[in-house]
Structure 1
Amino acid sequence: MRQESSDPPTTSTESAGGRRRGRPSVIDTEAIAEAAFHLWSRQGYADTSWNDLAEATGVSARTLIRHFSVKSAIAWIGVAPATERLRASLSVAPETAPLTDAVRTAIVESISHRPHIQRVGRDWLRLIAGTPELAAMSSEAYRPWITELADYIGRRVPEVPAAIARALATAYQAAAFAALTEWAEEGAHGDPADAVDAMLRWMDIVPRSSARPA
């Protein structure tokens, strides 16, 4: 989903792009992620050490480890703000709006329209697609996003079992991610949100009460 951070910068003694002395200063998580994605795309995720990341970001390895603990935390740093944008869109969706429309709109709104973030997203998507270790983490990384969407589906259609709501949310996440991956692989032309919107228009949730008789 959108690869941008809407959270306040993390307080530390250093910042990406150059070391600083004294307190307080900030870590620019967006800049760290961008530098890491570029480095990983050239050098490979598995072959990049914390010292390599420190050299690329200008933030000491000790500080990076204190804030991220594992390299994969940097790779999935954009999921939390994407989840926040998803939640915000769902919270203002009219109750009268068709469920599928509300879901599609919220997912599309969770995609960044910022050109800078889209450039980072292209490297990120290629990284995930080309790194089995990271690809295997997708379901866990997106758990909060999936839970948010599943809870919304459950509220809108109370008769849907929780397991079904979660399965539907998981399918939406997989479809959106597939659209983004295809967008990146085909040259990252245009807005990735449009690619996601086009993909999700093939999907529809029809409650039993609204389904046509056979």
Structure 2
Amino acid sequence: MRSDAEENVQRLLRAARDAVGEEGAGVGVRSIAERAGVGVTTLYRHFADKAALIDGVAVHRWSTMRSLAERPVPPGGTLARIVLLLDTFTRMVSADDRLIAGAGWQVGRSPTAVLVPAKAGYDAALAALWARGQAEGTVHRRADPRDAMELAGCVRDTSRRPAQLRLLVVGLCARPEGGEALVEQMLRLPDPAYL
């Protein structure tokens, strides 16, 4: 996809996120296109309909997560990558709180049909990282990546996110002090430009 077309898609996804968060799922496509600074024709060039655009926000999120999870991990960097994934996901979920409520989604469970392929790739990549972390002795042997993601999906209040992320990460670490240091590093980073 050309860079200007990709930029339009990003602007449409941001506009859909904000419009649905503020006005609910009944917001019109014209309003979304205006927020994005593009015409309705451009919106329909990239998305079949408003539902596909709104669903596209969730698909983009999971595709971004999958891309992060599948990047090469340096030796000894598995736990840091897992913490990065949890940090990124909690940033996404807390930033998208109004969209999630406005669209009537359940984090990680809806929209179902379009979400399954995007999320399945992420789940597989995270499971591989998790197993590697357990083999390295950095991830607690009883910790389960599905539970961590379920809990991370509940982190919706941006003001409580640091404390909740810290609690989540410390709970999955074989050595909690290592997790605390990684969380502190992540919390100092600016929000990523994931959308």
TM-score, normalised by the number of residues in structure 2: 0.60
Counterpart pick for 2:166 among 197, 200, 205? 197
**Secondary structure, counterpart of 2:172 in structure 1:** coil
* 8 Å Cα contact 2:33-2:40 kept in structure 1: yes
Partner of 1:145: 122
Within 5 Å, give how 1:24-173 maps onto structure 2.
27-45=7-25, 47-69=26-48, 70-71=52-53, 72-88=55-71, 91-94=73-76, 101-102=79-80, 104-108=82-86, 110=88, 122-133=94-105, 135=107, 136-137=109-110, 140=116, 141-155=118-132, 168-173=144-149
Larger RCO (CA under 8 A, 6+ residues apart): 2
* Root-mean-square deviation over aligned CA pairs: 3.8
CA distance in 2, matches of 1:9, 1:197: 39
CA distance in 1, matches of 2:44, 2:134: 43
Unmatched segments (≥5 aa) in structure 2: 136-142, 175-195
State the Cα deviation string for residues 110-147 of structure 1 (Å, max 9, x = none): 359xxxxx6x8645123214532464416635322212
Task: Tell me how far 1:153 sits from its aligned partner.
Answer: 3.2
CA distance in 2, matches of 1:146, 1:65: 30
CA distance in 1, matches of 2:153, 2:119: 10
* 8 Å Cα contact 1:104-1:197 kept in structure 2: no
| Matched letter for residue 35 of structure 2 | A
CA distance in 2, matches of 1:111, 1:193: 12
Q: CA 1:121–1:203 in 2, change beyond 3 Å: closer, same or farther?
A: closer
Task: Tell me how far 1:109 sits from its aligned partner.
Answer: 5.5
CA distance in 2, matches of 1:197, 1:9: 39
| Matched letter for residue 16 of structure 2 | A
CA distance in 2, matches of 1:201, 1:157: 14
CA distance in 1, matches of 2:164, 2:2: 30
| Matched letter for residue 169 of structure 2 | L
Larger Rg: 1
| Matched letter for residue 91 of structure 1 | V
Considering fraction of residues, name the structure with more helix: 2
CA distance in 1, matches of 2:61, 2:2: 14
Partner of 2:188: none
Unmatched segments (≥5 aa) in structure 1: 1-7, 13-25, 113-117, 159-166, 206-214
CA distance in 2, matches of 1:68, 1:168: 36
Counterpart pick for 1:175 among 146, 151, 154? 151
Partner of 2:181: none
**Secondary structure, counterpart of 1:189 in structure 2:** coil
Q: CA 1:123–1:28 in 2, change beyond 3 Å: closer, same or farther?
A: same
